[in-house]
Amino acid sequence: MPRAPVRTTDIPPNATIRDVAAKAGVSVATVSRVFNQKGPIREATVRRVMDVAGALQYIPHAGARSLSTRSTRTIGVVLPDLHGEFFSEVIRGIDLAARESGYHLLLSGSHSDRDEMRAVVQAVRGMVDGLIVMSPDLEPSALVGELPAGIPTVLLNAKVDGRPSITIDNAGGARDVVRHLASLGHKHIAFIGGPAKNADAEQRRRGFRAGAKAHGVDPVELTGNFTEDSGYEAGKAIAAMSPRPTAVFAANDSMAIGALSAFRDARVRVPDHIALVGFDDIPIARFLDPPLTTVKVPIAELGRRGLQILLSGDTQATQAARLETSLVVRRSCGAQQSGVKQGLKQNRKSQKKR
C-alpha cells in the first residue's frame, strides 16, 4: 500500500509570496496583484516585485491558489484501463482540448471494480474541478451511486440519469458492418464479441444481431475480451470451423488484429478465404496487411467533447451527445481488389501530420 512519501528534506524550501512581499517592501496583496495582473499597480512596483521574485526563484503555489479561488484548473480522468491505442487516443483527445483551455489532467487507469473507483473518485475531491469517467464495465445504475454529487461529471459511453454523457452509436455501426458484408454476398458471419458486462461490447453485439436478422445472415457468436490475444484464440477457433464462416466481424480492432494473426498462422487468407472487419479504426488499422476494414469511431473526439461539456458549465443531464460512426472500407473485407484503394487513400489523406 502507500509507501514512504517523497522526501523533501534535502531540497531548500521554496520562497512564498510573503518572502517576496517582505523583500520587495510591499504587502502580499500587491505581490498577488502583480502576478495576476489585477488592479492598478505602479509600473515601478511591478518591476521591483518581479525582480525580487526572480531573485528568490518564486513560483506561485498552485495548490494554495486553488484553495482560495476554488478552482484547480484540473480535470480528473478515470478510465478502466490504459491499455492499447484506444485509450491512448481518448487521453490524447482530452489532453489536446485541456491544454487549449489551460487545464491539466489528473489521470487514473485500471479501475476494475466499484470500490476502487469510488476510492479514486473521492480521493480527488479538491484536486479537480470536474471528472470525466469512462467505466464500460460497470452497470450505469451502479455507477451513479459512486459519483460524488458535488463534482461535475461527464460520462463517456454510459448514460446515467442526471449526468451529461457522450456516447457512441455502437449498434448503428455494427449494423452497417453486417449490411456491408451482406451486400458482398456473405451469408455466414462470425462475430467476436467483447466482455459480457461491457456496455460497448453489448451494444455492438445487439447491432450485429439486428443486422443479421435484417439481412438474413446466419450468425455465429464467439466471445473475447477486447485483447489481441483473445482475438487470436477466437480466430483460431473460427479457422477450424466447418463449414467455416465466410466473414468475421470483431467487436474491436485489437481482436481483429489477433484474428488476422491467427488466420495467417492457419493459412487462411484474408480477404480471399475469409473477410474480416473490425471496430474503432485505431490508428494502425490502415497499416495492417491487408488494411483493416473497420468502423471509424471518433475516439479523440470523444475525449475532446467530454472536456468541452465539462468546461461549458452545463452539467445538467440535458447534454447527451451521441457520436456517429462510419464504415471505413479497406481491403480486409474483400470489397476492393486493386492495390491502391479509395478507402486507404482517402484515409491516409485525412490523417493528421504529426
CB of 210: closest distance to its own copies in angstroms? Answer: 30
Choosing from 55, 240, 284, 320, the residue that interacts with its own copies (CB under 8 A) is 284
Least CB distance to its own copies at residue 318 (A): 8
6 binds its own copies (CB under 8 A): yes
Residues 6 or more apart whose CB falls under 8 angstroms from that of 34 comprise: 41, 45, 46, 49, 50
HEC string of 151-198 equals CCEEEECCCCCCCCEEEECHHHHHHHHHHHHHHCCCCEEEEEECCCCC
Cell 485541456 belongs to which residue? 98
Nearer to its own copies, 42 or 267 (CB): 267
Question: Any contact of residue 44 with DNA (CB under 7 A)?
Answer: yes
Tell how strand 218-223 and strand 275-277 pair up: unpaired
Distance CA 197, CA 7 (A): 43
- Binding flag, residue 112, DNA (CB under 7 A): no
Closer to DNA at the Cβ: 28 or 151? 28
| Separation CA 65–CA 71 (nearest Å) | 8
Among 25, 39, 148, 185, binds its own copies (CB under 8 A): 148
The rounded distance, in Å, linking the Cα atoms of 241 and 237 is: 6
d(CA 319, CA 90): 19
d(CA 168, CA 78): 18
- Decide: is 145 part of the binding site for DNA (CB under 7 A): no
Q: Build a one-symbol-per-residue string for 6-35: x at contacts with DNA by CB under 7 A, - elsewhere.
A: -------xx-xxx------xxxxxx-xx-x
Q: Which of 58, 86, 249, 279 binds DNA (CB under 7 A)?
A: 58
Q: Which is nearer to DNA, 2 or 40 (CB)?
A: 40
Among 48, 65, 114, 215, binds its own copies (CB under 8 A): 65
Q: Is 92 in the site for its own copies (CB under 8 A)?
A: yes
Is 78 in contact with 153 (CB distance < 8 Å)?
no
Q: Does 279 bind DNA (CB under 7 A)?
A: no
| Binding letters toward its own copies, positions 102-141, x by CB under 8 A | x-xxxxxxx---------x-xxxxxx-xx-----------
Nearest distance from C-beta of residue 322 to DNA, angstroms: 36
Q: Answer yes or no whether residue 196 interacts with DNA by CB under 7 A.
A: no
**Beta carbon of residue 178, minimum distance to its own copies (angstroms, whole number):** 25
Residues in binding contact with its own copies, number by CB under 8 A: 93
Does residue 269 touch its own copies according to CB under 8 A? no
Q: How far is the CB of 202 from its own copies (least distance, A)?
A: 19
Distances in Å between the alpha carbon of 191 and those of 13, 188, 209, 236? 60, 10, 9, 13
Between CA 143 and CA 165 the distance in angstroms is 13
State which of residues 36, 289, 342, 346 lies at the interface with its own copies (CB under 8 A): 289
| Residue 25 contacts its own copies per CB under 8 A | no
206: closest CA among 175, 236, 238, 229?
175
Q: Which does 17 bind (CB under 5 to 8 A by kind): its own copies, DNA, none?
A: DNA
How far is Cα 262 from Cα 266, in angstroms, rounded to an integer? 6
Q: Which does 26 bind (CB under 5 to 8 A by kind): DNA, its own copies, none?
A: DNA
Task: Match 452545463 to its residue by C-alpha cell.
Answer: 314
Give phi and psi for 296, each to the nearest 5. Answer: -75, 120
Q: Could you give the 3-state DSSP secondary structure of residue 219?
A: strand
Q: How far is the CB of 151 from its own copies (least distance, A)?
A: 8
Q: How far is CA 267 from CA 72, 203, 234, 254, 274, in A?
A: 56, 32, 15, 20, 11
Residues 302-331 that bind its own copies (CB under 8 A): 310-311, 313-316
Query: Where does this chain bind DNA (CB under 7 A)?
Result: 13-14, 16-18, 25-30, 32-33, 35-36, 38-42, 44-45, 58, 60-61, 64-65, 67-70, 126
